[in-house]
Structure 1
Amino acid sequence: MLLLARPDEAQAQRRRTTQPRAKSGSSGKRKDFFKFKSPTIRYVRPDTTVLIKTEDLPDDDSEASKSIYFNPAKQLSIVSEDTTTLDEGEQQIVEVSDEVLIDSSWIKVAGYYAIWDTRNINPYRVDGRRIKDTLNLRLVEPEKQRFSKMPLTETPLTSDFGFRGYRWHYGVDLDLETGDSVKAVFDGVVRIVKWDGSGYGNYILVRHYNGVETLYGHLQKSLVTPGTFVKAGQLIGRGGSTGRSTGSHLHFEVRYEGNPIDPEQMYNFPDYKLRGDNFQITSALFNYYNKALRARAAAKRHAPTAARRTVTHRIRSGDTVSGIAQKYGVSQAQIRRLNSGLSTLRIGRTIRIK
């Protein structure tokens, strides 16, 4: 009778027979039999058959206003973009490869080309309303050890996706205390770590394997850099109240090819969980765009002229001139110049920032 060794025994035998003899001076340690490697990013020449044409961007300082498909920051031509460096702020075409260690050899198991941009939230310029088919995304893939986590230890919702005055709010706000841990919700690669004084403050954007990107805004501090591979649940920043914020909270966005999706369609925040392991992308998810455009038009009609536009701040307990300057992205000298006699910060006093 033929006796078969157990799989783990057979694998161990194969490792013993194929393991090369350690060289002089080496430790002779064996690598793990099966593990995932962080994805590699390789620069490649762009596809010269692709040309993206876009509209002009209305004058607005916030990153959010520049990130919607119908308001691109400039005309983009993949043909003319430079791909020699990763962090020049221009659009890049890169090849991203997934590799897995099998029997002491790294094997490429997946490879795909993608636009990589470390400065612009939406380099894709895709109109979600024009999606014709239903796209099924696998948010969680247990067979690849890719799971989901929540961005905070607790997720009390303080502001929904939708209108906020004359502005459209492209994410949800989750309450936190300054310094609280902010975590990646899926496995992926950090694409943007940036300061936006007119909107998000300190923010991070992560591209995930499942096809979505998530954005984490108003952070006190970012703990990762562009190109960092992160796992679901990994600490990426500390919560705060930077940028356009009236109190400590996390601004959390979910996007598909640059198009914001209401996070409550994907997450059940009160119950602290995903609504499902799979998610369908349809054009109906982006029906709000027309309302958002009308909100922008109304904001433009009611906006003051540039000559009369001012920014003020009401002093609260614990405020410092340096902290206020960092929050609004201005210098301490400017604050002191606009507010004569600012020797002490009296709680309740309103000072001019810009």
Structure 2
Amino acid sequence: MYLMNKRIIKILFGVFLSIGLSQANAQVFPKIIKKNTSQSQTSTERRNIELREFDQESYLKTLTSQTDSLLFQNDINLARIRSIINEDPFSMIWAPTNQLVKVSEQVQIDSIWVTAFEYYSSWDSKKVDIYNLDIKNFQDSVLLRLYDQRLGTDWKFPLDQSKKTSEFGARWGRMHYGTDLDLDTGDPVYSGFDGIVRVRAYDRYGWGYFVLVRHKNGLETLYGHLSKQIAQVGDEVKAGDIVGKGGSTGRSTGSHLHYEMRYKGLAFDPEKVYDFEKGELTQQDLFINKDLFSHIAKARAAAYHRVKRGDTLGAIARRYGVSVSQITRLNGISTRSILRVGQNLRVK
């Protein structure tokens, strides 16, 4: 009996031992296979990543075709970090790096938005028109979404009231590139759309104190004759943020806001966007083509200036953005010629 029990105990011990070893092997085997598979996949993925290069040209083409306006739907940090630098002010960092961008006033802007689109790769805080776009070569047809509240972008009239005092177009023998809106000196002037301040300057012979804002929708707006500039170059502004106070500085006969809308440096009639009488936007999407700038070709065909008391060739040249030599050549005169009050001079 004792021997039988001892034999049974040995048999049971052997069974339990074999089961334990089987379970141990079952636990180890899959782990080894899983580890080898993971290492193999990781190595393959790493090799694939190392072999892939960023195609900048393809990236920019895709970006251009898909983002005529409202370049990004997410919040973009337009001007969180700004500092003074002593390096080349015109060097730019390209889009995918999301690095700092150096602009002409030696301000750094932490913003991929500034450089993401080909149009936004140009940045200068001194000059208004930096694009040098010839209307004769303008072949694009672009649809711009001016605002979209679903994406967090909005619009605002530049003033609390919208009484129009002068329209866009030819006026007194010269082109008026904006719409004049009545105001009292000191009235707040608002940014029309979301954007970033590009120029803050003084124009003695025209806009006086003015601010120019580059917008997310692809346009730029200019606010002229201000009594006070509030927004600084590089400031992020939302639609309705105050950029300055109304006034009558520069070439002005009374307090009003000179309001311009521009696409790639070319001004167009703000009434293509605003209904100033009703206080509304005429459309949410603006179709831009060559016809929108037909006035420019006419204005550039020839331009004349009627000489007033105190005028000089230098002052006239600065007013029209031309050289003294161009005026003398067009009119067959010299720099020593005496100007007569009432004389018509061709300037372009």
Could you say which structure has the higher strand fraction? 1
CA contact (8 A) 2:261 2:269 kept: yes
Q: Of residues 77, 81, 90 in structure 2, which corresponds to 1:38?
A: 77
Identity of aligned residues (%): 40
Which one of the candidate residues 300, 306, 311 is aligned to 2:312?
Answer: 306
Q: Compute the TM-score of the two structures, normalised by the length of structure 1.
A: 0.58
Q: State the Cα distance separating 1:125 from its structure 2 match.
A: 0.5
Is the alpha carbon distance of 1:45 and 1:200 closer, same or farther for their aligned partners in structure 2, counting shifts above 3 Å? closer
Counterpart in 2 of 1:97?
112
Partner residue of 2:240?
A: 233
Question: In the aligned structure 1, how far is the partner of 2:225 from the partner of 2:91?
Answer: 36
Q: Which amino acid aligns with 2:236?
A: F
User: Cα RMSD over matched residues?
Assistant: 3.3
Report the residue type matching 1:231 in the other structure: K
In 2: Cα distance, 1:159 partner to 1:85 partner? 35
Tell me the secondary structure at the aligned position of residue 289 of structure 1: helix
Partner of 2:125 in structure 1? Answer: 118
Q: Do 1:127 and 1:259's aligned partners in 2 also have CA atoms closer than 8 Å?
A: no
Closer, same or farther: CA 157–228 of 1 in aligned 2, 3 Å: same
Match of 2:190 among 156, 160, 183: 183
Aligned-partner Cα distance in 1 for 2:315–2:104: 36
Extract unaligned runs of 5+ from structure 1.
1-33, 48-82, 100-109, 311-354
| 3-state SS of 1:255 partner | strand
Cα deviation digits, residues 145-194 of structure 1 (max 9, x gap): 00111000111111011112122100010000001110000000000111
The answer (yes or no) to whether the contact 1:167–1:295 under 8 Å persists in 2 is: no
Question: What is the TM-score with the length of structure 2 in the denominator?
Answer: 0.59
**3-state SS of 1:179 partner:** coil
Correspondence for 2:265 among 258, 262, 279 = 258
> Quick one: structure 1 residues 241 and 38, their matched pair in 2 at CA, closer, same or farther if it must change by over 3 Å?
same
CA distance in 2, matches of 1:183, 1:233: 5
In the alignment, the residues of structure 1 paired with residue 157 and residue 315 of structure 2 have an alpha-carbon distance, to the nearest angstrom, of: 39
- Is residue 2:154 matched to residue 1:147? yes
Offset at residue 225 of structure 1 (A): 0.5
Aligned position for 1:204: 211
The answer for the alignment partner of 1:9 in structure 2 is none
2:276 paired with 1:269: yes
Task: Please tell me the residue identity of whatever aligns with 1:288.
Answer: H
Q: Is the 8 A contact 2:103 2:124 kept in 1?
A: no
Q: Using the alignment, how far apart are the partners of 2:315 and 2:76 within structure 1?
A: 51
Q: Which has the larger radius of gyration?
A: 2
1:283/1:267 CA distance change after superposition, 3 Å:
same
In structure 1, C-alpha distance between the alignment counterparts of 2:106 and 2:211, rounded to whole Å = 17
The answer for unaligned runs of 5 or more in structure 2 is 1-72, 83-88, 94-100, 317-348
- Structure-2 separation of matches of 1:282 and 1:210: 16
Higher helix share: 2
Output the CA distance in 1 between the equivalents of 2:255 and 2:90. Answer: 41
**CA gap 1:171/1:129 in 2 versus in 1, 3 angstroms:** farther
Distance 2:91 2:254 in 1: 45
295 and 152 in structure 1: CA distance in 2 versus 1, 3 angstrom threshold: farther
